[in-house]
A and B are shown apart, each in its own frame.
Chain A
Amino acid sequence: MKRLIRAGSVAAASLLAANATALEIGTPAPDFTAASTHGEIVLSRILAAGPVVLAYYPADFTPG
């Protein structure tokens, strides 16, 4: 049981670490293509029209 708890803590810690990863200010934003509710989105094409607010959130149907 103790080993299980320890394994869980390690998993939680690595998840938090992954969540904390972000790009540095002043660095290029990697381009990407993704399916969306408005069809296929290519970041570089959207940027041609203006700045982008890329808001990552944990899951649908969560507050915020």
Chain B
Amino acid sequence: MKAFQNDIARFEKLSAQVLGVSGDSLQTHRDFAEELGLQFPLLVDDGSIRKHYGSGRITHLIDRNGIVRYVHKGMPDNERLLQEIRSLPSD
């Protein structure tokens, strides 16, 4: 999540919203976000998110029409993600 924070301005410039998600509690998320200085939200998954999106370390890029455009398993690659966001249709 630290890597996303380092590049957060680049995501924001493309109007993309980063959402971190895990099964941790809200309090643990608050402590983690404070320690790393995370400006983007950390979501609490009660099981309904991983049911559809998988869990572990997996990143989905969803376009503004709600369509999955890119999926990456393993450590996120911000350069690739930013490139994928730039290539999304603008409508």
Residues of A within 8 A of B (CB): 18-32, 34-38, 41, 43-44, 46-61, 63-64
Residues of B within 8 A of A (CB): 1-4, 11, 14-24, 26, 28-33, 35, 38, 40-46, 48-50, 52-71, 73, 75-76, 81, 85, 88
| A contact patch SS | loop
Q: Is the CB of A27 within 8 A of B50?
A: no
Q: How far is A22 from B54 in the complex, measured between Cα atoms in Å?
A: 5
Q: How far is A63 from B4 in the complex, measured between Cα atoms in Å?
A: 12
Q: How far is A28 from B68 in the complex, measured between Cα atoms in Å?
A: 6
Q: How far is A32 from B88 in the complex, measured between Cα atoms in Å?
A: 22
Q: Which chain A residue shows the least CB distance to B46?
A: A34
Among A25, A26, A53, A61, point to the contact of B19 (Cβ < 8 A). Answer: A53
Q: Is the CB of B1 within 8 A of A55?
A: yes
